Amino acid sequence: MAKGKAAGSVRTGIEPPKRRGDAVMSGVILHDLVVQRESKSFTDSLYAILTAAGLFEGPKYMLSALSGMAFIFTVHERLLPLSVTAYGQWVTVHKRAADSLGIYTVTDGGRTRHPTFAYYQQDAVQWIKASLDRGLGVIYWIPEFGVIHGYDDEDRIFYVQDGNSKENRMVLYDNLGLNFTPFWYAQIFGDKVEIPASDRLLESLRMAIDDWNAPYPVPPDCSIASGRNAYSYLTRALRQQDFDASGAVYILESYQQSRQEMMYFLQDAILLFPELKEAFILYEHIVGLCKSPDMMDCLDVKNRAIRLSGIPSLILAMEEAESLEEKAVNVFRGIAGNYPDLKRSTIPRWGLHMAR
């Protein structure tokens, strides 16, 4: 697997190999890398890695929006918890996130049932260790997403943070990638190129437009909706009262957090594009709906349940939020349309799509 050249100043916080008795223990722990669960698990993991390595400066909401992750909204038809991470082909979405920040990245993953998995697994052990040796953590599907921030060759284990606990998880080299889902995934990072702030901001608006217009994240599978269509799946499941209660709470919690991230991002973005003030006001209203009694009284967060008596008010609040977000996307569309977009308007000589 290809490996990127890491920035030269990111070895701060690396713990050198230690000695146990007479035996030398070969390993690394990145002590400056701390994952805190506040946003989508991928966003939390990406932020922890890049800030610890000095590859990103700024608040998490800025990274979430500039990477395109904040705007993503996906909903399973029965509101299963997997909705929050089932936002498309991870390799594509997560590479887009890193590219938009100017960060070199390489990903690998697949299905653990494939006969070649064992070979990819052992190869991944080596390039994950190499990334840690350079002072860069590795995003890893636990599930959900977390960060591998250390290894110990003597015990043949990786140390993993999930952001939900201060305690490390330990994953044996031979168990890397194995979990209760059929997927494995890991992602490393390298050097950074500087992208003008206005270009990064415009790209974030365009990614928001793309996600809003895409009805399904993984077509032809229609069990999960995205963007505008995700609102329809959410309100329909609530109206029919045929849903996973814990999943519904998780979806709404993630939705509330991501819309708040968009609001803060747009508040800052007004400095570069004053025309975004209208969109900021619209997201301010959406965040207000998220904190309104109509939504808060319906969520029994402690018991991970939905109070059925509050569903009609919750549906009305979500329908209003959809209308507000449609108007905000129209603002994005108007601004983005005033500037050239070579990424989407230039078709390479081999065509728009190529085999992968």
Q: Per-residue pLDDT tens for 250-273?
A: 999 999 999 999 999 999 999 999
Q: Is the pLDDT of residue 232 over 50?
A: yes
pLDDT computed for residue 333 by the predictor: 97
Place of tokens 């207000």: 288
Q: Give the pLDDT band of residue 340 (cuts 50, 70, 90).
A: confident
pLDDT computed for residue 336 by the predictor: 94
Q: Is the pLDDT of residue 67 over 90?
A: yes
Structure tokens at 118: 């064992």
DSSP letters, 177-213, are T-SSSSEEEEEEEEEE----HHHHHHHHHHHHHHHHH
pLDDT computed for residue 351 by the predictor: 54
pLDDT computed for residue 345 by the predictor: 72
The rounded distance, in Å, linking the Cα atoms of 47 and 55 is 9
pLDDT computed for residue 341 by the predictor: 81
Q: Could you read off the pLDDT of 181-218 as tens digits, one per residue?
A: 999 999 999 999 999 999 999 999 999 999 999 999 99
Q: Could you read off the pLDDT of 23-61 as tens digits, one per residue?
A: 335 899 999 999 999 999 999 999 999 999 999 999 999
pLDDT computed for residue 353 by the predictor: 53
pLDDT computed for residue 63 by the predictor: 98
The rounded distance, in Å, linking the Cα atoms of 103 and 227 is 26
DSSP letters, 29-77, are EBTT-----SS-HHHHHHHHHHHHTTS--S-HHHHHHHTTTTT--EEET
Q: Could you read off the pLDDT of 286-309 as tens digits, one per residue?
A: 999 999 988 888 999 999 999 999
Q: Give the pLDDT band of residue 74 (cuts 50, 70, 90).
A: very high
Residue 148's DSSP bridge partners are: 138, 160
In percent, the amount of the chain with pLDDT more than 90 equals 85
For helices 90-101 and 41-52, angle between their N-to-C axes, nearest 10 degrees: 40
Q: Could you read off the pLDDT of 99-143 as tens digits, one per residue?
A: 999 999 999 999 999 999 999 999 999 999 999 999 999 999 999
pLDDT computed for residue 350 by the predictor: 54
pLDDT computed for residue 297 by the predictor: 86
Q: Is the pLDDT of residue 229 over 90?
A: yes
CB 166 within 8 A of CB 108: no
Q: Which of 146-150, 239-243, 343-347 has the lowest mean pLDDT?
A: 343-347
CB 85 within 8 A of CB 144: yes
How far from 351 is each of 89, 91, 346, 354, CA to CA, in Å? 21, 21, 10, 7
pLDDT computed for residue 323 by the predictor: 98
How far from 73 is each of 44, 86, 233, 308, 313, CA to CA, in Å? 16, 10, 11, 23, 21
The rounded distance, in Å, linking the Cα atoms of 78 and 120 is 34
Place of tokens 């006001």: 281
DSSP letters, 28-40, are EEBTT-----SS-
